[in-house]
Structure 1
Amino acid sequence: MKSLEDIMAMAQNVQAELTKAQASLDSVEVEGVSGGGLVKVTASAKGRIIGIAIDDSLINIAEKTMLEDLLVAAFNDARVKADAASSEAMSKMTSGLPLPPGFKLPF
C-alpha cells in the first residue's frame, strides 16, 4: 500500500494536470450549426463564444423570429459540442489514474 505522502504527492500532481487541462480547453474550438449551416456559432470548449456567422439570406425583418430561433439552436449545439470536447480532454487526462468507478474530477 502506498504511503500517505505518496498519495498526497499524486493528488497534487493530478491537481496540477487538471489546472493545465482546464486552461488548454479555452484554445479548443467547436462550431455549433443550425438551419442547415445558415447560422454558425464558434465557441471554446470552456463555452466562451468566439464568433457568430449568419448567412445573408436570413437578414430580413420578416424572418427575425426564425433567425432568433436558429441562433438559439446554434448556441445550444455549440454548448453540447463544447461539453463533449471538455469531457474528452478530461477523460484523456485522467485515464491513467486509479480512480474508483463513477469518481468525477475536478473535486
Structure 2
Amino acid sequence: MSQNPFDALTGGGDLAGALGGLDLGALLQQAQQMQEDLQSAQERLADTSVEGSVAGGVVTVTVSGVGELTAVNITPEALDGTDAAALADLGDLIVAAFRDARTKVDELASDTLGPLAGGLPGAGEPGTPGQLGF
C-alpha cells in the first residue's frame, strides 16, 4: 500500500483495487452533470406556464411551472349574481381551477424531474406530495 492516503481517491494504491477500480473522478463528473441537468430542468419549469380551468373555462387560472399563481381569468358567466352565495361559488370555482392547474404542474414536474430523481423513495406513490411539495 502507498504511503499517500489520497492515492485511493485518485485511483492509485491497493485500496482502489480492493474497491473494484472505483473511479471517484468519473463519479464526481457524473454527479456534476446530474446537478446541471436538474438545474436546467428546474429553469425550464420556472419558465413554463400551465392553465387550469373549471366549468368549461368559466374560470381559468395560470400557474407557473414552480406552482406560483400568475393569473386568474373570470368570464362574466361565472357571476350569477352579487349575493354572498354567488361570490362563495365564484371562490369555489377559483379554488377548483387552481387545483386543476396544480395537478398539471405536478405531472409536468414529475415528467421533467422524475428521470433526474433516479427513483427517489416515495416518488409517484399515492399520498405523497408532488414534486413541488403540495
**What TM-score bracket applies, with the shorter chain setting the length?**
0.7 to 0.9
Map of 1:37 onto structure 2: 57
2:72 match: secondary structure: strand
Identity of aligned residues (%): 33
Residue 75 (structure 1) aligned with residue 90 (structure 2): no
Query: Normalising to structure 2: TM-score of the pair?
Result: 0.66
3-state SS of the aligned residue for 1:75? helix
Whether 1:20 aligns to 2:43 is: no
CA distance in 1, matches of 2:65, 2:106: 6
List runs of 5+ in structure 2 lacking aligned partners.
1-20, 124-130
* Structure 1 portions without partners, runs of 5+: none
Maintained 8 Å contact 1:41/1:74: yes
Match of 2:88 among 65, 69, 87: 65
Q: Which has the higher contact order (CA 8 A, sep 6+)?
A: 1
TM score, norm. by length of structure 1:
0.80
In the alignment, what sits opposite 1:91?
114
The match for 2:3 is none
Q: How far 1:58 moved relative to its partner? A: 2.2
- Equivalents in 2 of 1:17, 1:27: separation in Å? 15
The structure that has the greater radius of gyration is: 2
Deviation at 1:31, TM superposition (A): 0.8
CA–CA distance in structure 2, aligned partners of residues 103 and 3 of structure 1: 24
How well do the aligned residues superpose, as a CA RMSD in angstroms? 2.3
Tell me the CA shift for residue 91 of structure 1: 3.2
